[in-house]
Structure 1
Amino acid sequence: MFYRREFHIPMQDSQMPLFTETIGYNPAQEKISRPDGYSAYHWIQTVRGKGVVIYQNKEIILPPNHGVLFLPDVPHFYERSKDTENWETTYFTFGGSMIKELLGNLEINRTAFYNWETNTPFSSFIEDVIKRGESPADVFSVKASADVYEFLISLYKYGKVQKNTTEASHLAKLYPLLEWMKQNVSNEEIGIEEMAAYLKMSKRHLNSLFQQTFNLTPYTYFLNLRIQKAKKLLLNDSSSETIKQIAAEVGFRSPSHFIATFRKKVGVSPEKYRQLH
């Protein structure tokens, strides 16, 4: 997929305005216990699987599209959830003499848990930085400082703070369904009844959980997944699939319905989207 990179900042350089300490991908996140916290600002997010984070005697579930920003010296513990085979993560640690001022301006002033929409630029931010493949020397460059700035701006713009453990509890309940949705994007038979049946709960309760967690209905969430996959298929240079074939692959019986839905969600037709990109 992508790889692990780490930069180690000498003490004499720790007063730079903004600096990246480490950034990387961990394909099998190990158990971490830090009773005294970590010396720098520390971000970790889930790529696949699910983790459990313990902070201030609270246990928070961390599924995909969720992350946590630990402030320096804040005690914490995290590990793979017992009901998932593997926990893949990306991480980012950073600091700098201007970091407190910047975070204050963005009203990011405490350790907090975040979630975000799958199709936002923030989803792949760390992966994109890693893939650029700068040399270790670049950690001291303007670009490395810009990475910290852009990360925090993106977190502020796209991240939604989880305000309590109730939301995390909802996510834990919904996680199996979210994974099932990803695996069944092409199944045109799936509706709210099938989703509720999968979790063995009422349609009303399922709707309530989605609204409280994502501010979306289950159907809208599933539709967004379909559109996201359609975008990837449209941009696949090695594929010659027609719009009709892509429509079927993302669960639309009718190509015209797919085209109308895609235009409503994205702002242009599938064909135009393919041409523009």
Structure 2
Amino acid sequence: MEDHPMPIYFNSAPVDFPFQFDSIGNNWDQEPTMRPDGFPVYHYLQTQEGSGILTIDGQHYTIGENQGVLLAPGIPHAYRSVSGKWITLFATFSGSLSPYFSALFGSSHLLFFENEKAATIRKLIDQAVLHHQETPVDSQLLSQECYQVLLQFTGGLQVNPSKQPAWEKYIRPVLASIHTRYMEDLTADALSREVFVTPQYLSRLFSRYLGCSVYEYLTKFRLSKAKELLVSHRGRKIQDIAQDVGYTDASHFVLMFRKMTGMTPSEFRKIN
């Protein structure tokens, strides 16, 4: 196997674009890597030559040529070469819209890609690596290319979280509580007590499987219900809808709604 140049580039944009490569590289002579706390952002790894083994929760996944995997943030993992050199390409993702990546990719903490899909991702990453080499770097173009890569991740092969013991024991019952009792005075502390774990542990599990904290999931779910009510019950007052979805303080509801959507509940109602 011939030697390869090993380019790696990190985000240097002076402003926060919606989608950004936090880091990106190809032709990488991959060394054994262990991350007991996972990676802080979404991380994609693909084999160019050779093959590697990814280990998560004691399970081993082989990543052969023209195969790749997207890992959610905070998932403890390790990977190494099967034998000899393992040449990879990779990208990690950030940007102002990164809190919503989990909604784009789904609930699985692992997504696998192969064949034509992996070939398309490789082509896009190779192209972005070339554009990182230009002077000056066109950050807006790279943001657009990052978005094109992220779009490829919507059709990955999922590792079904429902087959994971932690999902069944902790995540599923908490989701059921949120979905049926979101209008009540729910908190992350109260939900963690329902499944007999600490709030910190439950939030780590939510981050692992859903890409967000318990509080973030509860907030997003409540506000999605608020959107439905704003459109379907146009005569109902904003403060009443706030209470309908679990907010006793209408001003806090308006603040959170604006933070999530960029507009007030009244403005949302007007354009819908």
TM-score when normalising by structure 2: 0.50
The alignment partner of 1:132 has SS state of helix
The alignment partner of 1:47 has SS state of strand
Once the two structures are superposed, what CA deviation does each residue of 1:238-269 show, in whole Å capped at 9, x if it has no partner? xxxxxxxxxxxxxxxxxxxxxxxxxxxxxxxx
Q: CA deviation at 1:102?
A: 4.4
Distance 1:133 1:95, change over 3 A: closer
Match of residue 107, structure 2, among 106, 109, 130: 109
* 2:58 corresponds to 1:60: no
1:85 aligned partner: 84
Q: CA deviation at 1:92?
A: 0.1
Structural mapping, 1:126-145, within 5 Å? 126-135=125-134, 138=137, 141-145=139-143
Q: Please tell me whether the aligned partners of residues 124 and 145 of structure 2 are also in contact (alpha carbons under 8 angstroms).
A: no
User: Identity of aligned pairs, percent?
Assistant: 24
Q: Please tell me whether the aligned partners of residues 24 and 90 of structure 1 are also in contact (alpha carbons under 8 angstroms).
A: yes
Distance 1:85 1:118, change over 3 A: farther
Code of the residue aligned with 2:146 in structure 1: it is V
Q: CA deviation at 1:116?
A: 2.3
1:69 aligned partner: 70
Once the two structures are superposed, what CA deviation does each residue of 1:112-159 show, in whole Å capped at 9, x if it has no partner? 1412224852342212221334447637x21121122100112325x4
The alignment partner of 1:138 has SS state of coil
The alignment partner of 2:74 has SS state of coil
Q: CA deviation at 1:162?
A: 5.5
After the TM superposition, which parts of structure 1 deviate over 4 Å for at least 4 consecutive aligned residues?
Answer: none
1:45 aligned partner: 46
The alignment partner of 1:27 has SS state of strand
CA distance in 2, matches of 1:22, 1:136: 17
Match of residue 4, structure 1, among 4, 7, 23: 7
2:227 aligned partner: none
CA distance in 2, matches of 1:34, 1:9: 24
2:149 aligned partner: 151
CA distance in 2, matches of 1:121, 1:89: 15
CA distance in 2, matches of 1:30, 1:3: 12
2:24 aligned partner: 23
Once the two structures are superposed, what CA deviation does each residue of 1:181-236 show, in whole Å capped at 9, x if it has no partner? xxxxxxxxxxxxxxxxxxxxxxxxxxxxxxxxxxxxxxxxxxxxxxxxxxxxxxxx
**Cα RMSD after superposing both structures:** 2.8
2:97 aligned partner: 98
CA distance in 2, matches of 1:58, 1:110: 15
Code of the residue aligned with 1:28 in structure 2: it is D
Q: CA deviation at 1:44?
A: 0.6
CA distance in 1, matches of 2:31, 2:160: 26
Code of the residue aligned with 1:114 in structure 2: it is F
Q: Please tell me whether the aligned partners of residues 2 and 127 of structure 1 are also in contact (alpha carbons under 8 angstroms).
A: no
Q: Please tell me whether the aligned partners of residues 32 and 81 of structure 2 are also in contact (alpha carbons under 8 angstroms).
A: yes
Code of the residue aligned with 1:52 in structure 2: it is I
2:240 aligned partner: none
CA distance in 2, matches of 1:23, 1:130: 7
CA distance in 2, matches of 1:144, 1:133: 8
Structural mapping, 1:196-275, within 5 Å? none
Instruction: Report the more deviating stretch, 125-134 or 146-155.
Output: 125-134
CA distance in 2, matches of 1:116, 1:50: 13
| Structure 1 unaligned spans of 5+ | 165-277
Q: Would you say how many aligned residue pairs link Structure 1 and Structure 2?
A: 157
Distance 1:134 1:101, change over 3 A: same
CA distance in 2, matches of 1:42, 1:27: 15
Code of the residue aligned with 1:33 in structure 2: it is M
Q: Please tell me whether the aligned partners of residues 18 and 145 of structure 1 are also in contact (alpha carbons under 8 angstroms).
A: yes
The alignment partner of 1:30 has SS state of coil
